[in-house]
Chains A and B, each alone.
Chain A
């Protein structure tokens, strides 16, 4: 017999960036909120202080802060004709395993998407005509514009204390910023950090090529800062232990550093840790939800009733919980009907490793997102008339490659990896390596989708999520183009060795770890036939269920997803407390 808890106004599943930002908005508006996270409590100062954090083996290599496949995994195949198999080892999938989710161990690049990214279909039709979308029929607009989301990007950046240099304030281009970015209402809340030697070289070389280098907006605060929730943060110290690590300095923005301290002091907020949500309960009429069930760590089923259910549990479980709970219709690639699982998309990465001679780059000085980018080949910032693809990539360099275990595998091609000569080779190259990373767009296609696996189950007997994905021709073509641009930049920088990489050059596998940016499957849109949620991330099939996260992205941009997840979460929460709670029903 399941344990019944007292009904809440809102139950939030997953307390990462999306869940904590939702909870902040909703509790501030006076709603009674219960958040359930499958992970344990984890905090910055107590759990990852400077005595614990600078440990490459444990955090970067063993990834002990991340959810492990032994605990949670998904199955994978490239095509529908194959039988999917489980991902046994954690590589591309990098979910958090504690309160705070992936927001605790993320690297920290904090991008806004461009204006184009929200309307890829319309903009492509306008500029190039229908033929450009051949094979990309599932590409669709988001249903909101960049301008719609701007106030919420701004709010996210203030809460997180993002460090950056504006490129466009209210339509006026700013010196030193990204000339391709959408208009922002004001400057970043904290200033840019200092730049490394590698960043200087990248900046100088790309500028000489006529490109437009700029400082990457990043969640490592640039100066002492108090955010709008009253939480204070300290300037980044360039220790370099960010990605896969916590932060013992209150410098890397995370739900723990920026939101949860304020949240835990609110009487109308309750957090349940180590609760594993398995199901959303539907009302008898089938049109609304009544709450969720979870298993506690003793294996007891507990029911949390609520007027509103908000799924904020990362792309995969957002989709899986909707499928298990049968809220909406599963997508079928043959008939192309149904919306649950439709339009899964990813991040198409290519670029180059470069090695210089006689540099002293001091690569141990850095931060997870401390870098320089050019957007000249991103989105639709260049003319695609003569290209066999749409989209592009941000091309960046980043100063975070100083840790010695990982770096020992980054040696010029054809030089000793082991044995005689290895030590000399590594010593010669440690100060001379740089990366040019193209983080590219990803377009949905008919054959890339999520569904429930018929064979493999988790420990509660619930089907694992099944991913069916491979690179489409458009994205392969784009990645090849970007790979060559990376070579151009590397040569201009004076690299002695250039070794390209291209994740789309072969069929994808989850053991390839170029990116953890995994989107779609529960996409937003204006048409219930082609989107699972509306533009407020509200389920078309149950109006009190909201599905919040990168699962809502219909297409992916050549940027990291977190700020867009945060902005969408804040926008959704505001719509709930300003409109929905007073008049429950469809928000559109």
Chain B
């Protein structure tokens, strides 16, 4: 098996994963240059998103999928209205989408998925998502002669249910279940993470369940067991 790239510096790895700190140094005391650094602060997403990753048909399919997973109803906006498409676009445009954290070296043995008990893919998350959305769209066209985004709601749900049940084969038998779970996880992340990442606009996800957000001290509330505390959520950085 090939030796891993020895030139891949540790500094670059830490920067990619958000921990670029005081460099490799000999420390005789607490380093004086430490402080709250850019790398430790979260990166907010611009309102409206950048559309860097999901464009055209991919964006239309993703929007349609997300809005079937979390539809608009009397309890609140749909996933895309809450910013979940922008959220995932920003996520996929950075280190997460590039899968810097994953070990994606070859080879991928034929029995690896069986041994690990789930479908293993060596694609980056960005490629995986784009290819997965294209697969969903192809499947819709084959079944209904229409792009996924133009199907009736019930037809979309039927496709998603088949994906969820692992009835569709893409990267091997049953692989559609892992794709479905990935998309479901992604839309939940968007709907319920801090609004500064682009989703959960107006903290609609937190208001839905009564989560108070980025609060850091509940000492005055813990004794009020079993009571509705009526706490308004707060976010790390207010966004409109």
Contacts and interface: CB of A to CB of B under 8 A. Distances in A.
A509 B116 contact: yes
Contacts of A426: 208-209
Nearest to B27: A271
A274 B24 contact: yes
Nearest to A52: B40
A420 B31 contact: no
Contact of B102 (A70, A200, A239, A403): A70
Contact of B22 (A40, A56, A69, A405): A40
A68 B102 contact: yes
A90 B101 CA distance: 8
B109 A57 contact: no
A241 B214 CA distance: 9
A224 interface: no
A68 B216 CA distance: 27
Given A46-B35, A404-B211, A426-B209, A86 B105 contact: yes
Contacts of A430: 209-211
A274 B211 contact: no
Q: How would you classify the secondary structure of chain B's contact residues: helix, strand, loop or mixed?
A: loop
Nearest to B236: A55
Contacts of A249: 216
A426 B5 CA distance: 45
A85 B214 CA distance: 39
Contacts of A511: 116-118
Contact of A455 (B1, B42, B221): B1
A402 B211 contact: yes
B219 A237 contact: yes
Nearest to B122: A88
A261 interface: yes
A297 B102 contact: no
Interface in B76-130: 76, 96, 99-105, 109, 111-112, 115-118, 120, 122
Interface string A398-429: 00001111011100000001111011101100
A405 B188 contact: yes
A424 B75 CA distance: 7
Interface in A453-471: 455-461
A509 B114 CA distance: 10
Most A-side CB within 10 Å, residue of B6, B187, B194, B218: B218
B217 A239 contact: yes
A97 B112 CA distance: 27
Contacts of B18: 58, 64
A272 B24 contact: yes
Nearest to A90: B101
A510 interface: yes
B131 interface: no
A52 B209 contact: no
Contact of A423 (B109, B112, B208): B208
Interface residues of B, number: 94
Contacts of A48: 40
Contact of A364 (B116, B218, B219): B218
Interface string A261-298: 10011010111111110000000000000000000111
B227 interface: yes
A420 B73 contact: yes
A459 B193 CA distance: 34
Contacts of A248: 216
A56 B193 contact: yes
B59 interface: no
Contacts of A424: 75
A365 B227 CA distance: 12
Interface in A60-89: 61-62, 64-65, 68-71, 73, 76-78, 82-83, 85-89
A174 interface: no
Interface string A181-198: 000000000000011110
A359 interface: yes
Contact of A459 (B4, B31, B213): B4
B206 interface: yes
Nearest to A235: B219
Interface stretch (B63-71, B142-150, B165-173): B63-71
A457 B103 contact: no
B205 interface: yes
Nearest to B104: A88
A506 interface: yes
Contacts of B226: 197, 359-361
B34 interface: yes
Nearest to A73: B103
B125 to A, nearest CB: 10
A235 B192 CA distance: 29
A376 interface: no
A418 B70 contact: yes
Given A62-B96, A82-B115, A404-B205, A68 B36 contact: no
A472 interface: no
A47 interface: yes
Contacts of B184: 417-418
Contacts of A267: 28
Interface in B204-240: 205-206, 208-219, 221-229, 236
Given A194-B223, A239-B216, A418 B29 contact: no
B24 A296 contact: yes
Most A-side CB within 10 Å, residue of B3, B76, B225, B229: B225
A339 interface: no
Nearest to A360: B226
B9 interface: yes
A548 B223 CA distance: 41
Nearest to B184: A418
A404 B10 contact: no
Most A-side CB within 10 Å, residue of B1, B11, B20, B160: B1
Contact of A273 (B24, B40, B191): B24
Contacts of A47: 21, 34, 36-37, 40
Most B-side CB within 10 Å, residue of A70, A270, A419: A70
A49 B36 contact: yes
Contact of B188 (A194, A261, A409): A409
A51 B6 contact: no
Nearest to A365: B218
Interface string A425-437: 0110011000000
Contacts of A76: 115-116
Contacts of B73: 420, 423
Given A409-B188, A511-B116, A299 B208 contact: no
A85 B24 contact: no
Contacts of A200: 225
B27 A70 contact: no
Contacts of B188: 405, 408-409
10 contacts: A41-B22, A70-B103, A71-B17, A71-B101, A85-B111, A271-B28, A362-B227, A402-B211, A418-B68, A461-B3
Interface of B: 1, 3-11, 13-14, 17-31, 34-37, 40-42, 68-71, 73, 75-76, 96, 99-105, 109, 111-112, 115-118, 120, 122, 157, 160, 184-185, 187-189, 191-194, 197, 205-206, 208-219, 221-229, 236
Given A39-B19, A51-B236, A71-B13, 8 more contacts: A40-B20, A52-B36, A68-B100, A73-B103, A85-B116, A296-B24, A420-B71, A423-B76
Which 5 pairs, one residue from A and one from B, show the smallest C-beta to C-beta distance? A40-B21, A274-B24, A68-B101, A57-B193, A430-B209
